[in-house]
Amino acid sequence: MDEKFLLMIPGPIDFDPAVLRAMSAKTLSHMSVEFAEIFGRALKNLRKVFLSEKGQPFVVAGSGTLAMDMAIVNLVEPGEKVLVLSSGFFGDRMADIAKRYQAEVTVIKAPVGEAPSLEEAEKHLKKGGFKAVTATHVDTSTGVAVDVKALGELAQKYGALSIVDGVCATAAMEFRQDEWGIDVYLTASQKAIAVPPGLALMVVSERAMEAYRKRRSPVLNYYADFGLWLPVMEAYEAGKVAYFATPPVNLIYALDVSLQQILAEGMEKRFARHRLLAQAFQEGIDAIGLKQVPVRKELRAWTLTTAYYPEGIGPELIKAIKAEGVIVAAGLHPEIKDKYFRVGHMGTLTPGDVLTTLGAIERALASLGYRFEKGAGVKRAQEILCPT
């Protein structure tokens, strides 16, 4: 495996060596007191990262899509109404999941680069009867960030549960679960949580757990049922053992290490670091003359940048950037898939990574004949990272 490349895709990210070392530690029995101590600490720390003292954490082997699946199938019964705010590919996926479980789904689909309209959402919610409203904090396909705080307020106002997909936002974008009143915030391990892929993570509010307990019908997905996982989570957090399905022991070792690193940095400093590095990178991209997918600066995520190829250049730019030592991602949104590329900047990201990536993009563009002020992107980023 060639390790000379800097991985700058929107997940999986480059992981801290201590996290990777935890992955290679001797595997304990998942029914041992020693493992219960590790898992219990991780569950407690997950609450701290989500800024949720009261929520119930769940850590399950699976991807972010499993976390989305769990949120819907446990809280929405067949025939109940769900309002989905879609800002891209993964918002559309949430709608598909809700339809699969026979919910009555209304979708507010934003144009590419826009955020869904909260005003339109309120018009629907005023009609009443919605069990849940969902949104994607940062849609990895567009790089658009939505106003999660306002969404939480809106859902509470009209008595709906709020479900937020935080896969490309958690532990990087500002988020305060208890304060903002979000009922379910879900994520996956491989992005800003900074653990290799394989964990579906979420914290569920007391209100949402009470809604689960009042279900009138069985949960339609056996593996995803909160009721089967809850005794396991409660036991491990209490330093005891319980069994439903075998947990991914070494991934939980890694999660324990990463969460401790995140909390050692501090959530406020971590939010500020991601915001600063995103600003530096995105204004560097602006300085090169590349248009970004979010139509307004305030919609740009702190965790990735989505930029259109310049005229006359296409996906060959990705290969050219790799030739300069950096791996970025191709487009994902079906409407613009071949028109743009994506750069992740989260988790272990440093100012040096930002400058290295901008330099690689500049050299790649120059090699393909794009005319621009060479060095402008790196210079602009340096001005932000090293203010006088």
User: At 333, which CATH number?
Assistant: 3.90.1150.10
pLDDT, average across residues 109-122: 98
Nearest to 156 by CA among 187, 127, 186, 125: 125
Domain that includes residue 275, residue range: 6-10+266-385
pLDDT-based confidence at residue 4 (cuts at 50, 70, 90): confident
**Which of 231, 249, 265 corresponds to the end of one domain?**
265
Note the pLDDT tens digit of each residue in 179-223.
999 999 999 999 999 999 999 999 999 999 999 999 999 999 999
Residue 220 corresponds to which tokens in the numbers above?
Answer: 């339609």
Bridge partners (DSSP) of residue 135 are 85, 164
pLDDT higher at 388 or 297: 297
User: Rounded CA gap, 223 and 61, in Å?
Assistant: 10
Domain count, the chain: 2
Residue 170 lies in a domain: yes
pLDDT above 80 for 50: yes
In a domain, residue 1? The reply is no
170, 293: one domain: no
Q: Is 388's pLDDT higher than 90? A: no
Residue 108 pairs in a beta bridge with 85
Percentage of the chain beyond pLDDT 90 is 98
Give me the DSSP letters along 308-334. Answer: EPPTT--THHHHHHHHTTEE-EE---T
Average pLDDT taken over every residue of the chain: 97
Rounded-to-integer distance, Cα 45 and Cα 279, Å: 28
The CATH number given to whatever domain includes residue 191 is 3.40.640.10
Model confidence at 93, pLDDT cuts 50, 70, 90, reads very high
When pLDDT is averaged across residues 316-332 and rounded to a whole number, the result is 98
Identity of the amino acid at 47: R
What pTM was computed for the model? 0.97
Q: Which residues 6+ apart lie within 8 Å of 345 measured at CB? A: 8, 274, 277, 278, 281, 303, 304, 305, 353, 354, 357
How confident is the model over 333-351, as pLDDT tens digits? 999 999 999 999 999 999 9
Q: What 3-state class would DSSP assign to 161? A: strand
pLDDT for position 2: 63
Q: What is the pLDDT of residue 374?
A: 96
Please report where in the chains the tokens 């979708």 appear, as a residue. Answer: 107
pLDDT tier, 139 (very low <50, low <70, confident <90, very high otherwise): very high
Return the biggest CA–CA distance within the chain.
Answer: 64
Task: Label each residue of 358-381 as H, E or C.
Answer: HHHHHHHHHHCCCCCCCCHHHHHH
Q: How far is CA 53 from CA 204, 227, 234, 382, in A?
A: 11, 21, 15, 38
Tokens in use for 319?
């290969």
Q: Which two structure tokens, joined as six digits, stand for 284?
A: 């560097």
- Bridge partners for 126 per DSSP: none
User: Count of CB atoms within 10 A of residue 299's CB?
Assistant: 21
Contact 228, 74 (CB under 8 A): no
Could you tell me if 327 and 8 are in contact, meaning their C-beta atoms sit under 8 angstroms apart? Answer: yes
Say if residue 127 is in the same domain as residue 243: yes
Same domain, yes or no, for 160 and 54? yes
Q: What is the pLDDT of residue 66?
A: 98
Q: What percent of the chain lies above the pLDDT cut of 70?
A: 99
Residue 363's Cβ-side half-sphere holds a number of Cα atoms within 13 Å equal to: 14
Q: How confident is the model at residue 323 (pLDDT cuts 50, 70, 90)?
A: very high
Q: Quickly state the pLDDT bin for 1 (edges 50, 70, 90).
A: low
- Answer whether residue 279 shows pLDDT above 60: yes
Cα 183 from Cα 135, distance rounded (Å): 12
Q: What is the pLDDT of residues 14-24, one digit of tens each?
A: 999 999 999 99
In a domain, 221, yes or no: yes
pLDDT at 387: 85
Report the C-alpha gap between 26 and 231 in whole angstroms. 26
Last residue of a domain, one of 220, 241, 265: 265
pLDDT in tens, 141-187: 999 999 999 999 999 999 999 999 999 999 999 999 999 999 999 99
Is the pLDDT at 37 greater than 90? The verdict is: yes
**Whether 248 and 329 share a structural domain:** no
Nearest to 221 by CA among 76, 82, 73, 100: 73
Same domain for 326 and 275?
yes
For residue 134, what pLDDT band results from cuts at 50, 70 and 90? very high
Residue 281 clears pLDDT 60, i.e. is over it: yes
User: Residue 145 belongs to what H/E stretch?
Assistant: strand 144-145
Average pLDDT rounded to a whole number, residues 37-59: 98
Are 273 and 130 found together in one domain?
Answer: no
